[in-house]
Amino acid sequence: MDIEQRVAAHYGDEALGRRLLEALALAGLDVDRLSPDELAPVDEFHVGGRQATVDFAEQLGLHPGLRLLDIGSGIGGPARYFASAFGCDVVGIDLTDVFVRVATDLTRRSGLSTRVSFHQGSALDLPFEAASFDRATMIHVGMNIDDKAKLFRSVRTVLRPGGIFGVYDLMRTGLGDLEFPVPWSNRPETSFVVEPAAYRKSLEAAGFAVVVERNRRDFALDFFREMRAKAEAAGGTPPLGTPLIMGAGFKEKLRHAAEAIERGVIAPIELFARVA
Ligand SMILES: C[S@@+](CC[C@H](N)C(=O)[O-])C[C@H]1O[C@@H](n2cnc3c(N)ncnc32)[C@H](O)[C@@H]1O
């Protein structure tokens, strides 16, 4: 298996769609009429959940009519939020076939299919026309991609002049080992966490001007504290949460990510870049 096949195998779990719908129904939701807000506890697969997406979106200058590409769209939480909150047309692309199918199904159940669609494919070889998007976003995906220079060249090609690219990834901020498994990888071979400076260098080489860099460490520490408090109050894992996507071993994966952020080894960082 090559790296991309291994990454897709890490995330892909055929039982995910059924598991999610069962949990949503058990929580008393009508699974045939779901809103992006109802889905938020389960479909935002990154540090900080929906609040992180809200904060990130504020810096993208979104408005109705914009065409946005969400790279590594997962099961579609951020894509549905961008479309429902700002009226953008959103296309998601993701390596993991199961995620694309679940994202498409949840979007239909949320009544957003006319404005949001998902495709299976690689961020390193985007199957879209040049200059066909106004915005591109990438949330917690770069940790699975080694060749960031190629990744950012591919994103640059599909963006229009003046386009904005927002990245929100876990990046290396200090010395020390990462303990595996983590939510994005069970082993070091499919984990490519690098410093913000390496992102900036590859973005600039691809023709972007980086305009904002924001470290979200404190926000992340609050998020993990709140997650632990909710688990304590629920007497275990709350019924709706990202553990549903992470499946087996989620406690260890989350603990390793939270500890690495606490130790200052990694931090969730936003970067916003303009087509130069
Ligand atoms: C941690 S999840 C984040 C999902 C989503 N962005 C979110 O925040 O909810 C990482 C996603 O990146 C996707 N991914 C990883 N490498 C990729 C690549 N080379 N091309 C496209 N998608 C990729 C995975 O399949 C997975 O869905």
Average pLDDT over residues 38-58: 97
CB of 136 within 6 A of ligand 1: the answer is no
Average pLDDT over residues 183-205: 97
CA 94 to ligand 1 center in whole angstroms: 6
Give the pLDDT score at 231. Answer: 83
According to CATH, the topology of domain 3-275 is: Rossmann fold (3.40.50)
When mean pLDDT is compared across 146-160, 200-214, 224-238, the lowest value belongs to 224-238
Which string of DSSP letters, residue by residue, matches 228-257? HHHHHHTTSS-SSSTHHHH-TTHHHHHHHH
Percent of the chain past pLDDT 90, that is, above it, reads 90
Give the pLDDT score at 17. Answer: 96
Query: Residue 164 forms beta bridges with which residues?
Result: 135, 274
Global model pTM greater than 0.85: yes
CB of 242 within 6 A of ligand 1: the answer is no
Q: Is the pLDDT of residue 238 over 80?
A: no
CA 235 to ligand 1 center in whole angstroms: 31
Confidence of residue 227 (pLDDT cuts 50, 70, 90): confident
Atom of ligand 1 nearest to the CA of 43: 9
Confidence of residue 1 (pLDDT cuts 50, 70, 90): confident
R_g of the chain, CA atoms, integer Å = 17
Q: Is the pLDDT of residue 237 over 80?
A: no
Average pLDDT over residues 37-47: 96
Which string of DSSP letters, residue by residue, matches 79-117? HHHHHHHH--EEEEEES-HHHHHHHHHHHHHTT-TTTEE
Confidence of residue 189 (pLDDT cuts 50, 70, 90): very high
Atom of ligand 1 nearest to the CA of 11: 25
When mean pLDDT is compared across 101-115, 157-171, 204-218, 228-242, the lowest value belongs to 228-242
Burial class of residue 232 in the structure, from the number of CB atoms within 10 Å of its CB (0-12 exposed, 13-18 middle, 19+ buried): exposed
Is the model more confident about 243 or about 253?
253
Q: Is the pLDDT of residue 234 over 90?
A: no
CA 79 to ligand 1 center in whole angstroms: 12
Helix axes 49-57, 36-43, angle to 10 degrees: 110
Residue 239 CB-half CA count within 13 A:
10
Query: What's the token pair of residue 101?
Result: 């199918």
Torsion sign (Cα): 157, 158, 159, 160: positive
Residue 244 and residue 106 in contact, taking contact as beta carbons nearer than 8 Å? no
Angle at 51 between CA 81 and CA 201, to 5 degrees: 85
CA 26 to ligand 1 center in whole angstroms: 27
Q: Is the pLDDT of residue 204 over 80?
A: yes
Give the pLDDT score at 179. Answer: 97
Taking CA atoms only, the protein residue closest to ligand 1 atom 11 is 72
Instruction: Look over the chain and give the mean of its residue pLDDT values, rounded to a whole number.
Output: 96
Average pLDDT over residues 105-114: 98
CB of 140 within 6 A of ligand 1: the answer is yes
**Which of 274, 272, 264, 244 is CA-nearest to residue 18?**
244
Q: pLDDT for 255-265, tens place per residue?
A: 999 999 999 99
Give the pLDDT score at 73. Answer: 98
